[in-house]
Structure formats: C-alpha cells, structure tokens
A and B are shown apart, each in its own frame.
Chain A
Amino acid sequence: MDNMKISREKSNSSVFFSVKNMTTIAMMTAVICVLGPFSVPIGRVPISLLPLAVFLAVYIIGTVRGTIAYSIYLLLGLVGAPVFGGGSGGPSVVFGPTGGYLVSFIFMALLSGFFIHRFYKNVVIQGIGMFLGILLAYGCGTIWFMILMKCNLKVALTQCVFPFIPFDIVKVIVGIIVGRSVRRRLIAANVIED
C-alpha cells in the first residue's frame, strides 16, 4: 500500500515533466532565445521584442509551460548565453540595473497567461490582462532599479518606464494579433492541442 502510494506520487510528480513536455518547453525556450535579442530601433530608443516572445510562448504552450520556458531563458542568459537584448548575456545583465525587469517578466507571463487563457474569447480583457502584466513587471523592475542605482521613484520611472509605455501598448496589440493567429494555425496543423 505504501509502495503503491509512493510510486503514484513519483509518477504524479514526473507526469508534468515528461520527456515530451521537457522537449516542448526546451524548444520554446530556444525560440524565445532566437526572438529575444531582437529590438526595433525607434528614434534612439531600442524597443525590445522580448515581451512579445513571452506573450507568444504563453499563448502557444500555456501559462505554466510558457512561464517555465521564460524562466529557463533567464537561466541561460544568467550562465552567459547571449540571449538578452542586443545579444548580451551573463550575470552582469541579470544583476545589473535593468535585471529587475527581466526577472519580473516571470510574473508578467503568469498574469498575462491567466487572462489570455481564462478569457480567450474576449480580446479586450486579454489586452487588459497583458497590460496589467506589463505594469506588474514595471513595478518589480523599477524597485530593483531604485535599490541598485540609489535614485528616487521619479528618476527611475522617467528613465525606465514612461518612455516605453506607448510601445508596450503596441506590443500588447501585436501580441494579441500574432499570438492568436499563430496559435490558431498551429492547432490547425495539429502541432499543439487546443
């Protein structure tokens, strides 16, 4: 009886990280690694495509697996793979002034993913949820920035948040368009389940 219980618990804990799930998450991590370093220069401000990659991951493989894929992307960047903005990498980025934003994208993925899959038929609520996720990321990232750079809230927001808000709204819209389209076509191709 105890043996049965133990083996059931073991199999339960390993069901989520089955080989299929592991390779799927790893492949999505690799996709994020390919898309993450890109940025679109608008004026002199490089607008990162990383939030788009995160939204895409969450749309396609679900909230939990998408968040895990992003977390592993973060770990790869931490160990030196050049997968952050502009091809940078290493612990100096994660522990640097803007590292807080990278880490807090984990929470953005969780919150956005909840709204995306809970209200999949309502695009407006999805957009609101995704934007709330971005705001959450801003909150955590800004706190870290303030700690590290010894500056006040106004300075941190002026440098790291306000200039990027319009572009983030665009990212949410693009994320919805691209995410839903890609997901629909992947389901049609029987590559992922509905």
Chain B
Amino acid sequence: MIRDITIGQYYPSDSIIHKLDPRVKLFATLMYIIALFCGKGIVGFAVITVFLVTTIKLSKIPFAYITKGLKGIVMLLLITTIFNLFLTPGDKTFWHFGILQVTNVGITNAIVMTIRLIFLIIGTSLMSLTTTPNQLTDGLEKSLGPLSKIHVPVHAIAMMMSIALRFIPILVEETDKIMKAQMARGADFESGNIIKKAKNMIPLLVPLMVSAFRRADELAMAMEARCYTTSDIRTKMKPLHYEKRDKIAYSIIISFVVIVIVTSIVIPFPQ
C-alpha cells in the first residue's frame, strides 16, 4: 500500500563528482543557479552548456537517468511556452490572428525560458544524484556555520534534519501497520465523500502522532542519558575535510560564474 522509500535520489557511482566535499557541491549549485539567472545571450548560455555537459560526463550518471526529473514539469513547460509564444507583444510581428500573435520578443522569451528551466532542473538534480542527504546535511551545517554568529541555531537545525531523516522510514512503516490494523477492524480509507474521508483519517493520524511523540520523548531521554546538550562545543564522528580536488573545483566554479556574467554584460546578443 505505501511504497518503499529509499531516502534520497543518490545514484551510486565511482566518479570524481561523487567524491567532492558536499560543501563544494552546495556552493556549485548555488553559483550555477546565479549564473543561470544572470546569463544572457548566446555566448553566456554556451558557457553554461559546456559547464553542464562536462559535469554530467564527469559524474558518470546516465543522461537518461538525469532527465527523469524533467517529466514532472513537461506539461507546465509546454503550456507556458505556448502562452509566451502567442501572447507576448513585441516590435516585430511575424504572424497574428485576433489576440494571438507571434513576435520576436515572444519567440526569444519562449526559447530562453525553456532552456533556462531545463538547465535548472538538470543542473540542480546533479547535486542530489551525486550526494546523499546525510552528506548534504553535514555540508549544510558547515555552510550555514557563519549564521551562528547571528543566533541562528545551525547545529540544532542540522540535528533535527538528521533525526527526521532517520525516522522517516520508521514512521512510514508505522503508518502502514496502523492502516492495516484499522482495516482489519473494518475501517475504509477509500470510500465515502470528502468529509467522511477526512474523519476516516483520524484513526490513522492519532495513533501515528501518539507513536511519533512517544518516540520523541524516548529519544530525548536517551540522548540526554548519553550526555547530549545543545552546546556547540562537541566533536564529530565523520568530520568533513577539504582535499586538493575540492580547491580546484572551487576555482573552476568561480571562474565559470565570472565568465558567464562578464560575457553576458559584454555580449548580450540577442537581447
């Protein structure tokens, strides 16, 4: 009834991209998004394309696997492209019929939007395909470290992420058990009108919540029994270390963004 969950979209492979420090990949994804939104003109997009293709090659992930992420937005993309194409005013009209018109601005907008969105999906998917959620959580904790100075509880956030990740499979299993137990007693989760369905959710949600909060209590007690405090002064079992390839990657990323922005300013054709 409830599907099996494999946490994360990680695609195991032995590639240099997989081995990079998660902080590098977080930074790279952020810079990539900035470049994508700042990029203008053919040259800018060409640089982005080269960067993206190279990264995909290095990651050793099949291209077909990466493009699975695009399926979810095909319809949305199609509709908005058509709207852009036929409803955008511009200074040069190639065709018109009533309120519909095809203009140079419309064509440009449709093309740019489509490419940008596809690149966004593919590029950002690479991060989650090459890094596990736990690694990314560690990377996030380190990357958000400076926020501690403005009283953002970075360690607590990372801890809550790790705890939640750990308990998702347990609660999924619990939900499945509760549903089966209630159905064995005659509960029907699939018929009746909306209000009836809503009320039928309660025999599922209440035991799930009770179970979850009791687990929370027990976990808190066990953590404190092991001398856990919310102090930031603690060591880490698997600390993150930068290596030479990580520094090289940083250089490449920064160069990439600078090139994209400069070329977009200098050569914005077509506008």
Contact = CB atoms under 8 A, between A and B. Distances in A.
Interface of A: 13-14, 17-20, 22-31, 33-34, 56, 60, 68, 72-73, 75-76, 79-83, 86-93, 95-98, 148-152, 155, 159, 170, 173-174, 177-178, 181-182, 185-186, 189, 191-192
A191 B209 contact: yes
B73 A19 contact: no
A24 B210 contact: no
B224 A19 contact: yes
A23 B220 CA distance: 6
Interface in B226-249: 228-231
Interface stretch (B1-9, B41-49, B255-263): B1-9
B80 interface: yes
A174 B7 contact: no
Given A19-B230, A80-B9, A178-B201, A90 B125 contact: yes
Contacts, number: 216
Interface in B179-237: 194-195, 198-199, 201-202, 205-206, 208-210, 212-217, 219-220, 223-224, 228-231
A81 B7 contact: yes
Contact of A27 (B3, B79, B124, B213): B213
Interface of B: 3, 5-10, 29, 33, 69, 72-73, 76, 79-80, 83-84, 87, 109, 112-113, 116-117, 120-125, 127-129, 131-133, 136-137, 140, 151, 153, 156-157, 159-161, 163-165, 167-168, 170-172, 175, 194-195, 198-199, 201-202, 205-206, 208-210, 212-217, 219-220, 223-224, 228-231
A79 B156 CA distance: 17
Nearest to A179: B205
A89 B129 CA distance: 11
A82 B121 contact: no
A151 B88 CA distance: 9
B128 to A, nearest CB: 3
Given A95-B124, A149-B113, A33 B209 contact: no
B159 A90 contact: no
A95 B121 CA distance: 8
B202 A181 contact: yes
A191 B213 contact: yes
A27 B164 contact: yes
26 contacts: A18-B230, A20-B217, A26-B164, A27-B163, A27-B164, A27-B171, A34-B168, A72-B157, A72-B160, A79-B128, A79-B133, A81-B7, A87-B5, A88-B69, A92-B128, A149-B76, A149-B84, A150-B113, A151-B83, A151-B84, A159-B76, A173-B198, A178-B198, A178-B199, A182-B205, A186-B209
A98 B79 CA distance: 14
Contacts of A181: 199, 202, 206
A88 B72 contact: yes
A89 to B, nearest CB: 6
Given A149-B80, A170-B194, A76 B161 contact: yes
Given A27-B163, A92-B69, A173-B198, 19 more contacts: A13-B151, A22-B160, A25-B160, A26-B160, A26-B164, A27-B212, A29-B164, A79-B128, A80-B131, A81-B133, A90-B69, A91-B124, A96-B117, A149-B117, A155-B83, A177-B198, A189-B206, A189-B210, A191-B213
Most chain B Cβ neighbours within 10 Å, of A13, A19, A60, A182 = A19
